[in-house]
Copies of this chain bind each other. A is one copy, B any other.
Amino acid sequence: MTPEVLSSVADYFKVLSEPSRLQILCELRSGPKNVTEILEATGMGQANVSKHLKILAQAGIVSRQPKGVSVYYQIVDLACFELCEVVCNQLVERLQQQARQLEPLAVVHSDKSIGGAS
For A21, the chain B residues whose CB sits under 8 A away are 10
Within 8 A of B (CB), among A15-54: 16-19, 21-23, 26
Interface of A is mostly: helix
**Copies in the assembly, this chain:** 2
- Give the number of residues in A that approach B within 8 Å (Cβ atoms): 33
Q: How far is the CA of A86 from the CA of B84 in the complex (A)?
A: 11
Is A82 on the interface with B (CB-CB < 8 A)?
yes
- Contact of B9 with A84 in the complex, beta carbons under 8 Å: yes
Closest to A77 in B: B90
Q: B-contacting residues of A (Cβ < 8 Å)?
A: 1, 3, 5-14, 16-19, 21-23, 26, 60, 77, 79, 82-84, 86-91, 94
